[in-house]
Amino acid sequence: MTLSAAPRIVGDMDHSAQHTSARGHGSVHGIVPAYLLARLAQSGRFPKAADAARQTLLAGRPKFRARLNFSIDANGALVAELGDAPNRTISDAGGTETLPGVVVRAEDDPPVDDVSVNEAFDGLGATFEMLLSAFQRNSLDGAGAPLNATVHYGTDYDNAFWDGERMVFGDGDGEVFLGFTRSLTVIGHELAHGVIQHTANLEYQGQPGALNESIADVFGALTEQYALGQSAAEASWLIGAGIFTAEVQGKALRSMIEPGTAYDDDELGKDPQPAHMSDFVQTTEDNGGVHINSGIPNRAFALTARTLGGNAWERAGVVWYRALTGGLSATATFREFADATVSAAEREYGEEVTAAIRDAWTTVGVLDAEGPRRTG
């Protein structure tokens, strides 16, 4: 047996500091926007969920690991290649808001009786596999960072978030929200904030913040599509499908292909996402509308992927990843990111992909059909 590749050795970083609470943490990015929780907090129809929403609103280097991949070469010899592998640890907060909680499953452990633990473990693995296969990125930092998660955070906690070091999942209130580990797009989305943190580190405010949310949605959608083997045409393009109970008139938190259509409920209101720059929402809430206005670049990506056909993580996904990791400013506007995707497409693929991307950004009003680009 021969080894055809040598492992890259990376140093350890100590992330063992205990957090008494995630509330107010500067890097927390929750999947459920505050405006939706605020609406739910006033609900008379869902009293338990209203109380849970109020509580939720109040609340907020790795060891090297590799795997051996075996194959037979042309001479019939067994070849073992060292490849990148995830290093997952799932902890249980036990209904408290203390992080990280008690470790309940590590990378080499078998499934446990707790469904949330296993869903989190599998979702972290699915995200790792998508990043590695589509972008040759070894974990969130590109250097094999461990994937840590905590389940059963808080009591009736209506959110899931990335706190700068780990994924944290609430169990939902049972009236409006179910457990957040059940959605692969939620897991992929939150872990994507870790990728963004290690690359462009987009400011979480205004247009850069909306790009932050949108790119996280893109990666969340790609994680699900990759895991299911779905083409861009087959995909639902929904973020957070399956986390609403049957009592809610809605299918997901967001629709990338049709922003503004994910839910329309008497208590929760109507999905406020715009699909075009002409409807861009100017607001001081939601960090300047980061969860709202992300619908515009979301639609640009979904349109690009559908136009190109095939798998969204291949050409469209690679272009978005190159734009994110190619020196993008932390204060990038929609236009600047659109320009970055066009440039990346020209370098990587040529006119067919470039034209599809230009057309998508034009359709959502970020780029003009002809002449100077928009400044909005």
The residues annotated as belonging to the active site are: 190, 291
In whole angstroms, what is the distance from residue 373 CA to residue 376 CA? 9
Q: How many helices and strands, by DSSP H and E, does the chain display? A: 10, 13
Return the closest-CA partner of residue 252 out of 33, 29, 27.
Answer: 33
Residue 282 falls in which region: left (phi positive, over 0), alpha (psi -120 to 50) or beta: beta
> Could you tell me which of 149, 207, 158, 169 has the C-alpha nearest to residue 34?
158
Residue ranges in 256-333 assigned as alpha helix (H): 286-289, 295-308, 315-325
Sequence letter at residue 352: E
Question: What is the SS3 string spanning 120-139?
Answer: HHHHHHHHHHHHHHHHCCCC
Contacts 24+ apart (CB under 8 A), 350-356: 352/308, 353/308, 353/315, 353/316, 353/319, 356/304, 356/307, 356/308, 356/316
**Spatial contact of 331 and 208, defined as CB atoms under 8 Å apart:** yes
Residues in CB range of 366: below 8 A, 6 or more apart: 277, 296, 297, 300, 334, 335, 338, 373, 374, 376
Closest CA to 302 of 376, 247, 225: 225
